[in-house]
Structure 1
Amino acid sequence: MKIALLSYSTKPRGGVVHTLALAEALAALGEDVTVWTLGRGGDQGFFRPVHPAVRVRIVPFADGPEGETPGERILRSIARLRDAFDPAPYDIVHAQDCISANAVGRCIRTVHHIDHFTTPELAACHERAIVEPYAHVCVSSAVADELHDGWGLTATVIPNGVAYKRFATTDPAARARWRSRLGRYVLTVGGIEPRKGSLDLLEAYGLLRTDHSDVRLVIAGGETLFDYRGYRRRWEERAAELDVEPVVLGPVPDDELPSLVAAADAFAFPSRKEGFGLAAMEALAAGVPLVVRDLPVLREVFGRAACFADTPEELATGLGRALTIDAPTRQTAGRELAARHTWAQAADRHVALYRFLS
């Protein structure tokens, strides 16, 4: 089959990581795969090299006028990708997000998680990206249930894979460099934004330091289409009030991320909305104790391999335990769980779905 997978960015957000890993696994099965995306800010390639068996088509996307709103930027993104993409050569057109689903028309859509927008144009785009595709994939049953309860749609559930060996077998020298730079640390990946529960994590860190004053909070990642400057200001003001200084790394080079994860003493994942939790699964592959928000989807995905918390107080308690008594038990359960999630298995299931739909 000739397959087009479409994403909205070249940056290392979860859906983009998923798209590239799935594309490479499909190509390994002998499928003819092309990944389409928008190259923002002059990007001419993805955040990491892509296997040469996968074709890559990056559509240039220029910066907008000063004062462009997120809604206007998303509508312009849709129009730019629509103008560039021709579905005719492909047997399967599979959109991985709201922007690409709006751009390409008839398609399969992976719904990673369900957003709730209040801006009219964004709400309309979100709605079209759910109701217009002819088939749907979800990476967890919890999100599939949301899709069915909200729209009466039935999705095929195909969980994410994880690059297990990449995170389980990191270079000791690379880990030591992170430890030398950061000391003992709790890590989170995903940036500072409302969906990631960043303010709750900050509050939890303030509490955690009472008994673990030597532990730092490290935040990696953060690429997004949305303007979270107001939220970031509130976060910085609260950090000053709590007299804490988290380390904000921003985007980390792809080849350095596994050792950063593996060197952490605990991994925090207090997201308020998730479809699977790929960054958290990567932490389990690295053998790092995991504390996550108590959401149905994360209960489904992580089970006994994670500690669950809802409030900042519970999060601080869970991280404190992860730093001490829980580490060996959770490392074993976590590695076993992560090892069962392979991209090869995910690709097999996608191919079966594509053939059924064809």
Structure 2
Amino acid sequence: MRIALLSYSTKPRGGVVHTLALAEALAAKGEDVTVWSLGRGGDTTFFRPVDPRVRLSVVPFPEVPGEDVGARILRSIAVLRDAFDGSQYDVVHAQDCISANAAGPCIRTVHHIDNFTTPQLAACHERAIVDPYAHICVSSAVAAELATGWDITATVIPNGVDSARFAAADPAPWRAELGRYILTVGGIEPRKGSLELLEAAALLDGATKLVIAGGETLFDYREYRQRWETRAVQLGISPVVLGPVDHAELPGLVAGAEVFAFPSVKEGFGLAPLEALAAGVPVVLSDLPVFREIFGAAATYATGPQALATALHAAIGDTTRTQLGRDTAAAHTWPAAADAHLNLYSHQLAHAV
């Protein structure tokens, strides 16, 4: 089967991580897989090495100084559309709204549903939901949103987790560098609940510092970041902001944490906290239906700074759910996800008009 998986970026965001892992799992099963993406910022390949059985096609996407988000979205769609020819493939599978707008007829994975106010983004988001001929969601919670908002029935295929990679990680270098720390991954942005986590961290005793990793994004969160930095000064705390962490070093960073915090206000799955469970780290999440669905009793749930601070404090040193957490992560595998995707692809091909 000739399969094209399309993404909007080569950077380490959740949808890109998903795309590469799925591509590798499909290629390991003997499928002919090509990953297409835009090479932002001069990138010619992805943020990590990719199994050589996966073909890569990274389309140059030079930066335009002063370009606003709306214009960048429209240019992203146009550049990827001009480069991509879907007629070469049996299956065209887009992983985000930009690639779904560029791909032509396609299957679309809806990782989560956004509420955009920028007109170009709102239109891109709507077309990327309405136009694809088949839909996948990584959780039942997102599939329910799709059914309620658009009367679309999606196939639910959860993400996989590279549990062995995180379970085997060496935390010592990061602990030596940072001491005791609470970790969150995803950068500083509204959807990640960054301000709420900052307020919660200020309520703790200060012996365990807050560390923030990641943050590659298409969007401009400078105003929110400035609010966050101003509030940190007002609260008298100094979190460690690492930015994107090298792929090889990330498991050790995760494994070295006392607790992993993920107070997002909207998510479609929660791959990063599952990786933390695989590493044996306790996890505290915001109380969202999607998290209850994926994590069950393996995590602690809290909403709001005071409840979050209480839960974080209680989770430090708590090993009572370590094995349950590891088992929860191990239950999600990329080979199983690949099998489910191949079943859907085969069904769609068999019923193609």
- The TM-score normalised by the length of structure 2 is 0.98
Q: How far 1:105 sits from its partner (Å)?
A: 1.2
- Tell me the amino acid that sits aligned with residue 176 of structure 2: S
Does 1:85 find its partner at 2:110?
Answer: no
Residue pairs, 1:279-290, within 5 angstroms: 279-290=272-283
Q: How far 1:122 sits from its partner (Å)?
A: 1.0
1:224 and 1:121 mapped to 2: Cα distance? 17
Does 1:199 find its partner at 2:223?
Answer: no
Q: Tell me the matched-pair count.
A: 349
Does 1:46 find its partner at 2:46?
Answer: yes
**Correspondence for 1:233 among 222, 226, 233:** 226
Residue pairs, 1:257-268, within 5 angstroms: 257-268=250-261
Q: Please name the residue that 1:2 is paired with.
A: 2
Q: Please name the residue that 2:295 is paired with.
A: 302
1:144 and 1:208 mapped to 2: Cα distance? 37
Q: How far 1:67 sits from its partner (Å)?
A: 2.2
2:285 and 2:276 mapped to 1: Cα distance? 12
Q: Please name the residue that 1:317 is paired with.
A: 310
- Tell me the amino acid that sits aligned with residue 192 of structure 2: K
Q: How far 1:257 sits from its partner (Å)?
A: 0.2
Residue deviations 1:296-349, cap 9 Å, x none?
A: 10110111000001111111011001014xx21221110010011000000000
2:50 and 2:172 mapped to 1: Cα distance? 28
2:272 and 2:14 mapped to 1: Cα distance? 8
Q: Please name the residue that 1:114 is paired with.
A: 113
- Equivalent pairs: percent with the same residue? 70
Q: How far 1:295 sits from its partner (Å)?
A: 0.4
Q: How far 1:69 sits from its partner (Å)?
A: 0.9
Cα root mean square deviation, aligned:
0.6
Structure 2 SS opposite 1:329: coil
Q: How far 1:214 sits from its partner (Å)?
A: 1.2
Q: Please name the residue that 2:101 is paired with.
A: 102
Does 1:37 find its partner at 2:37?
Answer: yes
- Comparing 284-293 and 118-127, the one that deviates more: 118-127
Residue deviations 1:137-165, cap 9 Å, x none?
A: 00000000000000000000000000010
CA contact (8 A) 1:290 1:330 kept: no
CA contact (8 A) 1:44 1:58 kept: yes
1:153 and 1:176 mapped to 2: Cα distance? 47
- The TM-score normalised by the length of structure 1 is 0.97
Structure 1 SS opposite 2:87: coil
Q: Please name the residue that 2:12 is paired with.
A: 12
Residue deviations 1:221-272, cap 9 Å, x none?
A: 0000111000000000000000000000000000000000001000000011
1:305 and 1:13 mapped to 2: Cα distance? 24
CA contact (8 A) 1:26 1:347 kept: yes
Structure 2 SS opposite 1:354: helix
Structure 1 SS opposite 2:324: helix
Structure 2 SS opposite 1:208: coil
Q: Please name the residue that 2:138 is paired with.
A: 139
Q: Please name the residue that 1:26 is paired with.
A: 26
**Correspondence for 1:181 among 171, 177, 183:** 177
Q: Please name the residue that 1:252 is paired with.
A: 245
Q: Please name the residue that 1:355 is paired with.
A: 346
**Correspondence for 2:209 among 216, 219, 231:** 216
1:182 and 1:219 mapped to 2: Cα distance? 12
- Tell me the amino acid that sits aligned with residue 323 of structure 1: I
1:161 and 1:329 mapped to 2: Cα distance? 24
- Comparing 66-75 and 129-138, the one that deviates more: 66-75
CA contact (8 A) 1:11 1:223 kept: yes
Task: Show structure 1 runs of 4+ deviating over 2 A.
Answer: none
**Correspondence for 1:334 among 315, 325, 335:** 325
Q: Please name the residue that 1:162 is paired with.
A: 161
CA contact (8 A) 1:291 1:319 kept: yes
Q: How far 1:202 sits from its partner (Å)?
A: 0.1
2:338 and 2:132 mapped to 1: Cα distance? 20
Give the gaps of 5 or more residues in structure 2. none
